[in-house]
C-alpha cells in the first residue's frame, strides 16, 4: 500500500479518536464506581 503523508495522518487521527473514546469510557466506569448510587431516579409504586 502506498503510504504518503495523508494516509499516515488519517491513520493517526483514527487511532487518536479511538484512544480518546476508550479514555472517556474508562473515566465514566471509574466515576460510576466511585459515586455508586448517586443520581439514580427511584420511582415509588413500581412493584420492584
Over the Cα atoms of the chain, what is R_g? Answer: 20
What confidence score (pLDDT) does residue 41 get? 67
**Residue 16's pLDDT is what?**
98
pTM reported for the whole predicted model: 0.63
Calculate the alpha carbon distances from 28 to 15, 16, 19, 34, 40 in Å: 20, 18, 14, 10, 15
Q: What is the pLDDT of residues 5-47, one digit of tens each?
A: 999 999 999 999 999 999 999 999 999 998 876 666 666 766 5
pLDDT recorded at residue 35: 86
Amino acid at each position: 500500500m502506498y503510504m504518503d503523508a495523508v494516509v499516515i495522518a488519517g491513520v493517526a487521527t483514527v487511532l487518536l479518536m479511538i484512544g480518546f473514546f476508550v479514555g472517556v469510557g474508562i473515566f465514566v466506569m471509574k466515576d460510576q464506581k466511585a459515586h455508586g448510587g448517586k443520581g439514580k431516579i427511584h420511582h415509588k409504586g413500581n412493584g420492584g
